[in-house]
Amino acid sequence: MEGSEITKKEIKEGMPFALLSYILFLWILTFIFEKDNRFAHFHAKQGMVIFIGDVICLYLLFIPVLGGLFRLILFILFILSLYGIYLALTGKCKKIYLIGDIADKLVA
């Protein structure tokens, strides 16, 4: 998607939903209300992958030996969410490292 032409109008209209996509489960709102906005969908896919990673890490956080590792992964996912919010606010369609590749494979 990085090389695709997304119009400034599409970015402006999809920016609120792209921003919300990185906050917990609010990425689902993009798929409901912005069905045709490629900019918002790009960010919603990445937000969905981050959310799924958060849920998995929260579930595994209580394993006694590995809890610290999952706490670190949760922190990294939080930082990646902040980076995604920055990208959405600046109107960029840039893949987040590893997250973007997983999002492309999971959602067609």
pLDDT digits (tens, 9 = 90+) for 25-60: 899 999 889 888 999 999 999 999 999 999 999 888
Please, which pLDDT band fits residue 3 given cuts at 50, 70 and 90? very low
* Alpha helices (H) along the chain: 8-20, 27-33, 38-60, 67-89, 99-106
Please state the pTM of the whole predicted model: 0.86
Instruction: Give dist(CA 29, CA 45) in Å, integer.
Output: 12
Amino acid residing at 43: H
Place of tokens 């030996």: 65
Cα–Cα distances in Å, from 54 out to 3, 8, 12, 38? 29, 32, 28, 24
Q: Look at residues 31, 38, 47 and name the one whose alpha carbon lies nearest to residue 11.
A: 38
Q: Give the H or E element holding residue 14.
A: helix 8-20
